[in-house]
Structure 1
Amino acid sequence: MSLEPSLRTGRLRVEDGNELYYEAAGNPEGAAVLWLHGGPGSGSMAGHRRRIDPARQLAVTFDQRGCGRSRPLVTERPDLLDTNTTPAQVEDIEELRRHLGIERWMVTGASWGTTLALAYAQAHPDRVTGLGLFAVTTTSTPEVEWITESMGRVFPEEWEAFAGAVERAPGERVVDAYARVLRDADPDAKERAAAAWGRWEDVHVSLGPDWAPDPRWHSPPTRDVLATLITHYWSRSGFGGDEILGRMDRLAGIPGVLIHGRRDISGPAITAWQLHRAWPGSELVLLDEGHGGPLSSAALGRAIAEIAS
């Protein structure tokens, strides 16, 4: 159905019983720009539409498997977690591209969305006109270890409470314990784990100059979806995050802008720097910001204007 002349919405059935909500706004004949949301599990928001020129470009986004307006939610069908992987989502993106009749598009995203964007572009470089990414991560094992274990050196009091909120088997990593509890435990244990995970999420992004508590971590339905999907993906290093840096040669000739905040302690700038070094022709933009924010969004808008012309 259509909510306004320039906005098309719909639902796309993909494999494993998932139905994806999507939006396409702007000029259907214009240069297409795909936005991949973060999380995993945050769902898409309307802000990406403000980064395009609706007379010349088409903004596309969708709610990834198990979250947002897509169905079923991961909390409704935890048995589908085994099919909720990065390769499956890469094919979801291709299915959406074919469904909308788009030949090639610029791919953009933030945080987890940058991991998914890089994985998609490496799998289908012939379908990508360029990349625009901010709050850059590859969800590699070292990145997950940093954000869930080593960052306790920066926030020791908060990390102790975070690590102690779930029971761990001997030698079990914190992230693996959370993933197990949020998938298989009784409802009360899941609720406690989701709340504790949300408190830690608020802590490790708190050093940005514009930081404020994220209301999503205080809304149980959204919080529970986010915590379940994040721990599912992080405990498995993003289902291929360790391979992304070594495959940057697949993006040779594709323009890209990597935008990152120097105050992003949850995802230090080294990841964006390493990707830039391995990607000839890419541009690295470092800003006085945390894990995304208005400066990053504005920089992405400029990248879209330059690449998706």
Structure 2
Amino acid sequence: MDASPDFDFFPPIEPRRTGMLPIDDLHTMYWEECGNPDGIPVVYVHGGPGGGSSPEKRCWYDPDTYRIILFDQRGAFRSTPLAEVERNTTQLLVEDMEALRKMLGIDKWLVTGGSWGTTLSLAYGQTYPDACLGFVLRGIFLGSPDEIDWFLHGMRRFFPKAHDDFISWIPQQEKHDILTAYEKRLFGKDADARMDAARRWFKYTEACSLLRQDPALIEEAVKNDPVVYGTGRLDAFYFRNSMFLEPGSLLRDIGRISHLPVMIIQGGHDVIAPPAAAYSIHRAWPGSVLHIAPDAGHSPAEPGIRSKVIQAIEYFKRNKRFDAAALQASGPV
């Protein structure tokens, strides 16, 4: 099966099998497998951290060629318990991915992901480089203090209305520390207040993700309560703990995976994950291919992002590598 000429989605498919993998005495991780059981293994690493893997992500991959693995990280979407922060760290998520790979009997897989999914993909690859065929990374986020501060404060320069909605309900005496104000409500005893805070956090994220605003799309997204709740609580928890990463470590340790192929797709107008991080990874990674989509923000729903991600995955299935000139010539960007 081939993608359409403009590298649009493959037709919807259902999983061949799904499961719940116990990863400790508290957490159980949802996983699913689609496509060709004998194909090239590929794993999708979702954003958030609490966002979960939507069924739409199955359609990025040719089901005739790829053995497609999706999973929900600890506390996300269909994994249990929902939005649980106990025993939830980047290092444990890395080990969960490795446990899933071993359980499925996969030797090596192509690692693909977006936003926070790029953070976790890089952390996983640097821990288990021999388990990776390569990477397709969209919207690089390195988890630095500057990036976290930008999300909480800086994005108001481009999305003042969304940021005002994000903080206007917080009492004046608490506005000097937005993260603490949100944590107070996201982890308080009042279930309605927890959900309300999560919905406000999630709506802020969605409103700042698109270059071309689509209020209907945003309103539809905030109806998915498990994703909304998991994203709000786990985002804030990971922010408070600096993503459980030593500042600069993902860039510092890029040499552990720099022998592997990577395609980086970045929205030129990405406000949530500004292009500077993608460029820094590209400069540090010899042979990396970077595409800046000039007509896109952060969301993978935007055509300039979606088309290039699918093109990269299509190119890899034939070549097992990435080549900037060939990708530029092989189809629309």
TM-score normalised by the chain length of structure 1 = 0.88
How far does residue 245 in structure 1 lie from its aligned partner after superposition? Answer: 1.5
Report what 2:227 is aligned to: 222
CA distance in 2, matches of 1:157, 1:302: 35
- Is the Cα–Cα contact under 8 Å of residues 158 and 271 in structure 2 kept in the other structure? no
Report what 1:38 is aligned to: 47
Identity percentage of aligned residues: 36
How far does residue 104 in structure 1 lie from its aligned partner after superposition? Answer: 0.4
- Is the Cα–Cα contact under 8 Å of residues 33 and 107 in structure 1 kept in the other structure? yes
For residue 89 of structure 1, what is the amino acid of its counterpart? Answer: L
TM-score normalised by the chain length of structure 2 = 0.82
Q: Does 1:19 align with 2:23?
A: no
- Is the Cα–Cα contact under 8 Å of residues 20 and 30 in structure 2 kept in the other structure? yes
How far does residue 204 in structure 1 lie from its aligned partner after superposition? Answer: 1.9
How far does residue 165 in structure 1 lie from its aligned partner after superposition? Answer: 3.1
Report what 1:269 is aligned to: 275
For residue 243 of structure 2, what is the amino acid of its counterpart? Answer: G
- Match of residue 237, structure 1, among 228, 232, 242: 242
- Match of residue 256, structure 2, among 241, 250, 254: 250
Change (3 A) 1:67 1:170: closer
- Is the Cα–Cα contact under 8 Å of residues 72 and 78 in structure 2 kept in the other structure? yes
For residue 229 of structure 2, what is the amino acid of its counterpart? Answer: D
Deviation larger for 200-209 or 17-26:
200-209
Report what 1:121 is aligned to: 125
Report what 2:79 is aligned to: 70
Q: Does 1:111 align with 2:120?
A: no
How far does residue 180 in structure 1 lie from its aligned partner after superposition? Answer: 3.9
Change (3 A) 1:102 1:267: same
Q: CA RMSD in A?
A: 2.4
Report what 2:200 is aligned to: 196
Report what 1:278 is aligned to: 284
Give ranges in structure 1 of 5+ residues lacking alignment.
none
Question: Secondary structure of the equivalent of 2:218?
Answer: coil
Q: Does 1:303 align with 2:315?
A: no
For residue 281 of structure 1, what is the amino acid of its counterpart? Answer: G
Change (3 A) 1:18 1:29: same
CA distance in 1, matches of 2:305, 2:18: 27
- Is the Cα–Cα contact under 8 Å of residues 139 and 241 in structure 1 kept in the other structure? no
- Match of residue 165, structure 1, among 163, 169, 176: 169
How far does residue 141 in structure 1 lie from its aligned partner after superposition? Answer: 1.2
Question: Secondary structure of the equivalent of 1:82?
Answer: coil
Give ranges in structure 2 of 5+ residues lacking alignment.
1-12, 319-333
CA distance in 1, matches of 2:77, 2:196: 22
How far does residue 171 in structure 1 lie from its aligned partner after superposition? Answer: 9.3
Report what 2:303 is aligned to: 294
